């Protein structure tokens, strides 16, 4: 059976986990002094919380900052049943262009113990500078080596096709699963909440 992007309807446990992570993300963004205006510009800022519902720790493997930059780096390691955080901010330039851009990024985590199977989790989001454009989030779970090798062009294509909610289940071998949501939090501010788990641990069905 193939791994699939699930319909974007969360069950009760997933809703509760995302709501709790969303509250934590709001605290992270509110308490962060690094996400400030840059001169005349009010830059986009995204505060994120990732809840690791595994009993196993996960480690940051890779990041893709297509637009913007981290002002609080994502947690290097997230312990079992613990939280990881980040704050990502837009920028006043994009490459060599003096162009204000939003926050568009992806991060990849994976287990690093000797237990099998190895589990990987990808979280990507897009918070445009233009408030008339739609916020998007995308998650994928499964083989960490496959996720780490995935090119940004492939991630971006999946992200662009997503919505403000994302749910993924790997029913090939790992049974890794993830859910995420992005939500506006005031002027040019957004919150990202994600939960990484293994189907059958917090959720008998994906």
Determine the pLDDT at residue 203: 52
pLDDT tens per residue, range 166-190: 999 998 789 999 999 999 998 899 9
For 161-202, the DSSP string reads T--SEEEEE-TTTT-EEEEEEEEE-STTEEEEEEEEEETTTS
| CATH code assigned to 4-198 | 2.60.270.20
Per domain, the residue ranges of the chain are 4-198
Q: Sort 118 into a burial class: Cβ within 10 Å, 0-12 / 13-18 / 19+.
A: middle
Q: Is it the case that residue 198 has pLDDT exceeding 90?
A: yes
171: Cβ contacts below 8 Å, ≥ 6 apart: 1, 2, 3, 4, 199, 206
What span, in angstroms and rounded, lies between the C-alpha atoms of 60 and 82? 14
Determine the pLDDT at residue 4: 54
The predicted model scores a pTM of 0.88
Rounded to a whole number, what is the distance in angstroms from the first to the last CA of the chain? 14
Q: How does residue 129 score in pLDDT terms, banded at 50, 70 and 90?
A: very high
Determine the pLDDT at residue 25: 80
Average pLDDT (154-165) is 97
What span, in angstroms and rounded, lies between the C-alpha atoms of 88 and 108? 15
pLDDT tens per residue, range 58-114: 999 999 999 999 999 999 999 998 999 999 999 877 667 667 889 999 999 999 999
Alpha-carbon dihedral 179, 151, 108, 193, rounded to 10 degrees: -40
pLDDT tens per residue, range 19-36: 887 887 878 887 775 555
Determine the pLDDT at residue 39: 47
């Amino acid at each position: 059976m193939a791994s699939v992007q699930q319909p974007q309807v969360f069950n009760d446990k997933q809703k509760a986990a995302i709501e709790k992570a969303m509250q934590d993300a709001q605290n992270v963004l509110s308490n962060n002094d690094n996400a400030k205006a840059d001169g005349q510009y009010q830059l986009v800022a995204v505060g994120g919380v990732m809840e690791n519902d595994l009993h196993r720790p996960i480690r940051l493997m890779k990041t893709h900052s297509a637009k913007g930059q981290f002002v609080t780096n994502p947690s290097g390691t997230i312990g079992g049943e613990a939280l990881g955080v980040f704050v990502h901010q837009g920028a006043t330039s994009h490459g060599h262009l003096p162009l204000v851009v939003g926050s568009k990024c992806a991060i990849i985590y994976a287990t690093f113990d000797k237990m099998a199977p190895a589990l990987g989790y990808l979280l990507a989001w897009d918070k445009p500078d233009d408030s008339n454009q739609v916020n998007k989030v995308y998650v994928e779970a499964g083989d960490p080596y496959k996720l780490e090798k995935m090119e940004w062009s492939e991630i971006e294509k999946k992200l662009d096709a997503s919505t403000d909610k994302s749910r993924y289940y790997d029913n090939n071998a790992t049974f890794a699963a993830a859910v995420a949501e992005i939500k506006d939090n005031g002027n040019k501010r957004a919150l990202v909440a994600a939960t990484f788990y293994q189907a059958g641990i917090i959720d008998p069905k994906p």
